[in-house]
Amino acid sequence: MGGELNAYTTKEKIAFYASTLDRYYENAFELLTDITFDSIFPEKQIEKERSVILEEMSMYYDAPDDAIQDEFDKVIFPNHPLGMNILGTMESVKSFHRSDFTSFIKSHINTEKLVFCSVGNIPFKKVIRLANKYLKDIPSYNANKCRVPFNKYKPEISEVKRSLTQAHCAIGRDAYSFSSDKRLPFFMLTNILGGPGMISRLNLALREKYGFVYAIDATFQSYTDTGLFGIFFGTEPRQLKKSISLVYKELKKLREIPLGTLQLRNA
């Protein structure tokens, strides 16, 4: 059918999705429902997928800008689920069997929290009809896992030695949760500091003025009970200390000098 079938996992959700021509909409709907609720996890397929995941882990480890994010999470959220690598460990991936998957689903999935989303050139009545057809009789799961809220942040410095040309750096801390009234203002502040535009403060200070970095980003991710703020960049080792001091300088300016009306309006 020439479409895309994929999935992704974040710290707080798992999603299965398809993208097809509208004529194949029902085919995609049926297939996604089958994968989500009726997977049988054949052992042979698990073995094949195990190799794929181990290769994926090696790929991330070999990409320093990806690897540092996992190390960063571990420093910000030590000994907490949010600090754990989504991919797991080599040992855990090698140990999985069919029974592990079936028991995990029963103990972790709550179908009352499931969200079905449809975007495209499909009449709404048809979406409802197909939702009733394919989702009405899905198995019911009512697991109610509650994560222990993270509230033990303390500043920490971690250095990992790798044989790389660049030095990669992450600076940040825990931040506001999804329900915080400070979430959107802080998101805007993060965008001013290091958003995707070329005129972000960090980009102007480190790339445009000194040529220390190719790219530098400030990001803010909110979770249900906490959040994560981070600044990421890569530079030559001899320029690392100067780059970090420039980042701190921009953070200090943002703390001490109020934003002007024009800056706020543009943001």
pLDDT of 38: 87
pLDDT of 202: 97
Do 32 and 129 belong together in one domain?
yes
Q: Which amino acid does the sequence have at 222?
A: S
Q: How many whole angstroms separate alpha carbon 262 and alpha carbon 17?
A: 41
Sheet holding 227-235, edge to edge: 167-175, 227-235, 216-222
Do 205 and 88 belong together in one domain?
no
Do 29 and 70 belong together in one domain?
yes
Do 125 and 174 belong together in one domain?
no
Alpha helices by DSSP H, the chain: 25-38, 43-61, 64-76, 90-95, 98-108, 124-135, 183-194, 201-202, 240-256, 261-266
Tens digit of pLDDT for each residue in 10-66?
999 899 999 999 999 999 999 999 998 888 999 999 999 999 999 988 998 888 888
Confidence band, pLDDT 50/70/90 cuts, at residue 176: very high
Last residue of a domain, one of 135, 152, 181: 135
Question: Is 104 a domain residue?
Answer: yes
Last residue of a domain, one of 135, 153, 179: 135
Question: Is 141 a domain residue?
Answer: no
Confidence band, pLDDT 50/70/90 cuts, at residue 263: confident
Answer whether residue 209 shows pLDDT above 90: yes
154 within 8 A of 187, measured Cβ to Cβ? no
Do 30 and 113 belong together in one domain?
yes
Do 105 and 61 belong together in one domain?
yes
140 within 8 A of 111, measured Cβ to Cβ? yes
136 within 8 A of 116, measured Cβ to Cβ? no
Global pTM value? 0.86
Q: Which residue has the tokens 């992450």?
A: 170
Question: Is 25 a domain residue?
Answer: yes
Identify the sign of the CA torsion 168, 173, 177, 181: negative
Alpha helices by DSSP H, 62-182: 64-76, 90-95, 98-108, 124-135
Answer whether residue 241 shows pLDDT above 90: yes
Last residue of a domain, one of 112, 135, 158: 135
Do 11 and 74 belong together in one domain?
yes
pLDDT of 183: 97
Confidence band, pLDDT 50/70/90 cuts, at residue 167: very high
Answer whether residue 147 shows pLDDT above 90: no
Do 13 and 123 belong together in one domain?
yes
Question: Is 145 a domain residue?
Answer: no
Do 27 and 120 belong together in one domain?
yes
pLDDT of 171: 98
Tens digit of pLDDT for each residue in 133-143?
999 988 888 98
Q: How many whole angstroms separate alpha carbon 46 and alpha carbon 71?
A: 27
The two structure tokens encoding residue 261: 């009306």
Confidence band, pLDDT 50/70/90 cuts, at residue 226: very high
Name beta bridge partners: 172: 230
Answer whether residue 151 shows pLDDT above 90: no
Specify the CATH number for the domain of residue 130: 3.30.830.10
The boundaries of the domain holding residue 206 are 167-266
Confidence band, pLDDT 50/70/90 cuts, at residue 105: confident
Do 100 and 211 belong together in one domain?
no
Do 114 and 43 belong together in one domain?
yes
Share of the chain above pLDDT 70, in %: 100
pLDDT of 61: 84
Confidence band, pLDDT 50/70/90 cuts, at residue 77: very high
Mean pLDDT, the chain, as a whole number? Answer: 93
pLDDT of 267: 86
Do 171 and 126 belong together in one domain?
no
| Closest to 216 (Cα-Cα) out of 204, 229, 228 | 204
